[in-house]
């Protein structure tokens, strides 16, 4: 989407490891079937931090199969905004509409896409990581298929939380969790909390959280975890069994990606229980297959979200079933992204859940 009318705008672009630049780039122009959105609020995500610290990993260095783009790329894939221009052939969206943008880029033709698993697309990418611009810019042009309308009672800053909340929502939906099941969540960072909020909206009444950081234990408590374990002091396996009639939990959501935590979680799971991996691991880990065989346990992965999850999350927020406001621990401006956003999330991780960047946001 490189066509422009000569005008420029401010954007935060990722050039490479520890190289984030606040710079002027061309304003993208709207083509058929697209809209131009003025981003309002943009969340900074753990995957953005991974790219900044050790990337490019997710960001393409050879042309992405769908976007054709490579770094430098505009960051920002968790965002809300207001439509400021509609392209030819767009009838169901209008200037002024408030939206949350679903950032998955997929080809629509591969086997996974044909099975409706666009999140597993063999060529997949992300707006804000793989091209097509990103939320951390004054304007972005996206296809209408990415747009989700925000109801009147969902403010734009909450709209920026729909993406991370959808990760938690999808994880729960794709898992075998059913009402009444006991659950263990490993890690109460942003994704652990998103899983917790989804579980509560679906009626979970026994949520155990295992978290080392004192501050993050407090966040878990505030968000309504029923039991909080500190793996540096508590015997997680023993405690989970005690809390669940000696059997262990039904489902584990691994939102930490730490070997010792996974080892304990396997043994804290009841027979035929399931461990769901939501975490992005920094390196390979080991599992002991016999622990799965003898108890018929299962291990499964979940990735981002499917089409439909965004709408369900927006509906749950609008209906008051999820109140994610307290996830926001900081609000900064576009020119402060590296210093007050990335560096704060890296150096003051325990005190932060979600930092939002104000681009064009009011409410
Ligand atoms: Zn595909």
Provide the mean pLDDT of the chain: 94
Please answer whether residues 75 and 134 qualify as being in contact, where contact means their C-beta atoms are separated by less than 8 angstroms: yes
pLDDT per position as a tens digit, 6-42: 899 999 999 999 999 999 999 999 999 999 999 999 9
Question: How much distance in Å is there from the Cα of 271 to the middle of ligand 1?
Answer: 35
**H/E element, 140:** strand 140-143
Distance CA 294, CA 329 (A): 44
Question: How much distance in Å is there from the Cα of 19 to the middle of ligand 1?
Answer: 31
Question: How much distance in Å is there from the Cα of 115 to the middle of ligand 1?
Answer: 9
Question: How much distance in Å is there from the Cα of 20 to the middle of ligand 1?
Answer: 30
238: confidence class by pLDDT, cuts 50, 70, 90: very high
Question: How much distance in Å is there from the Cα of 32 to the middle of ligand 1?
Answer: 22
Question: How much distance in Å is there from the Cα of 64 to the middle of ligand 1?
Answer: 13
Question: How much distance in Å is there from the Cα of 71 to the middle of ligand 1?
Answer: 22
Question: How much distance in Å is there from the Cα of 101 to the middle of ligand 1?
Answer: 19
Question: How much distance in Å is there from the Cα of 305 to the middle of ligand 1?
Answer: 14
The DSSP code sequence of 17-70 is TTEEEEEEEEEE---TTEEEEEEEEEE--HHHHHHHHH-SSSS-SS--TTT---
Question: How much distance in Å is there from the Cα of 103 to the middle of ligand 1?
Answer: 14
CA-CA-CA-CA torsion sign (247, 253, 254, 256)? negative
In this structure, what token pair is assigned to residue 283?
């390196």
pLDDT score for 5? 63
The pLDDT > 90 percentage for the chain reads: 92
Question: How much distance in Å is there from the Cα of 96 to the middle of ligand 1?
Answer: 32
Question: How much distance in Å is there from the Cα of 17 to the middle of ligand 1?
Answer: 29
Please answer whether residues 112 and 120 qualify as being in contact, where contact means their C-beta atoms are separated by less than 8 angstroms: yes
Question: How much distance in Å is there from the Cα of 113 to the middle of ligand 1?
Answer: 4
- 153 phi/psi in degrees, rounded to 5: -90, 10
pLDDT score for 330? 93
Q: Find the radius of gyration of the CA atoms of the chain.
A: 20
Distance CA 158, CA 303 (A): 22
Question: How much distance in Å is there from the Cα of 102 to the middle of ligand 1?
Answer: 16
> Strands 354-358, 34-43: parallel, antiparallel or unpaired by DSSP?
antiparallel
The pLDDT > 70 percentage for the chain reads: 98
The angle at the Cα of 216, spanning 321 to 279, to the nearest 5 degrees, equals 75
Instruction: Return the residue matching tokens 């990418």.
Output: 125
pLDDT per position as a tens digit, 296-342: 999 999 999 999 999 999 999 999 999 999 999 999 999 999 999 99
Question: How much distance in Å is there from the Cα of 45 to the middle of ligand 1?
Answer: 24
> Strands 269-277, 249-254: parallel, antiparallel or unpaired by DSSP?
parallel
Distance CA 63, CA 60 (A): 6
Question: How much distance in Å is there from the Cα of 304 to the middle of ligand 1?
Answer: 14
CA distances from 206 to 38, 70, 170, 227 (A): 41, 45, 19, 8
CA-CA-CA-CA torsion sign (271, 273, 274, 275)? negative
Q: Could you tell me how far CA 325 lies from the centroid of its own chain?
A: 15
Q: How confident is the model over 175-198, as a mean pLDDT?
A: 96
Q: How confident is the model over 79-93, as a mean pLDDT?
A: 96
Question: How much distance in Å is there from the Cα of 106 to the middle of ligand 1?
Answer: 5
Question: How much distance in Å is there from the Cα of 303 to the middle of ligand 1?
Answer: 14
Question: How much distance in Å is there from the Cα of 57 to the middle of ligand 1?
Answer: 20
Asked if the model's pLDDT at residue 2 lies above 70, the reply is: no
Question: How much distance in Å is there from the Cα of 123 to the middle of ligand 1?
Answer: 6
Instruction: Return the residue matching tokens 């932060």.
Output: 352
Distance CA 78, CA 164 (A): 7
Q: How confident is the model over 78-103, as a mean pLDDT?
A: 96
Nearest Cα residue to 210 out of 170, 183, 176? 183
Question: How much distance in Å is there from the Cα of 306 to the middle of ligand 1?
Answer: 12
pLDDT per position as a tens digit, 114-141: 999 999 999 999 999 999 999 999 999 9
Question: How much distance in Å is there from the Cα of 277 to the middle of ligand 1?
Answer: 22
The DSSP code sequence of 7-25 is EEEEEEEEEETTEEEEEEE
pLDDT score for 361? 72
Which residues on neighbouring strands pair with residue 356, listed in sequence order? 43, 331
4: confidence class by pLDDT, cuts 50, 70, 90: low
pLDDT score for 3? 55
* Helix (H/G/I), strand (E/B), else coil: 362: coil
Question: How much distance in Å is there from the Cα of 170 to the middle of ligand 1?
Answer: 18
Question: How much distance in Å is there from the Cα of 109 to the middle of ligand 1?
Answer: 5
């Amino acid at each position: 989407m490189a066509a422009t009318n000569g005008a420029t705008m401010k954007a935060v672009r990722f050039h490479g490891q520890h190289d984030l630049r606040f710079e002027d780039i061309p304003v993208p122009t709207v083509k058929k079937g697209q809209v131009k959105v003025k981003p309002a609020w943009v969340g900074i995500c753990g995957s953005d931090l991974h790219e900044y610290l050790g990337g490019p990993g997710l960001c393409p260095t050879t042309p992405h199969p769908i976007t054709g783009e490579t770094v430098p790329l505009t960051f920002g894939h968790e965002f809300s905004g207001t439509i400021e221009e509609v392209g030819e052939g767009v009838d169901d969206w209008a200037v002024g509409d408030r939206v949350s943008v679903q950032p998955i880029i997929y080809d629509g033709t591969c086997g996974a896409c044909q099975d409706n698993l666009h999140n597993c697309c063999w060529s997949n990418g992300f707006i804000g990581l793989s091209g097509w611009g990103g939320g951390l810019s004054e304007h972005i042009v996206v296809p209408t298929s990415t747009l989700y309308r925000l109801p009147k009672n969902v403010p734009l800053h909450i709209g920026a939380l729909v993406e991370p909340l959808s990760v938690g929502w999808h994880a729960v939906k794709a898992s075998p969790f059913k009402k009444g099941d006991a659950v263990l969540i490993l890690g109460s960072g942003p994704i652990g909390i998103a899983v917790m909020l989804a579980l509560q909206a679906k009626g979970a009444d026994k949520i155990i959280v295992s978290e080392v950081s004192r501050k993050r234990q407090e966040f878990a408590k505030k968000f309504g975890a029923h039991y909080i374990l500190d793996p540096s002091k508590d015997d997680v396996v023993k405690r989970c069994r005690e809390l669940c009639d000696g059997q262990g939990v039904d489902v584990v959501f691994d939102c930490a990606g730490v070997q010792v935590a996974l080892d304990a979680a396997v043994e804290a799971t009841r027979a035929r229980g399931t461990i769901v991996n939501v975490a992005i691991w920094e390196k390979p880990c080991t599992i002991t297959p016999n622990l799965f065989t003898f108890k018929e346990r299962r291990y499964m992965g979940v990735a981002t979200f499917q089409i439909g999850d965004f709408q369900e999350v927006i509906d749950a927020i609008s209906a008051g079933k999820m109140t994610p406001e307290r996830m926001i621990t900081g609000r900064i401006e576009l020119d402060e992204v590296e210093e007050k956003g990335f560096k704060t999330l890296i150096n003051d991780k325990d005190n932060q859940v979600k930092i939002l960047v104000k681009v064009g946001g009011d409410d």
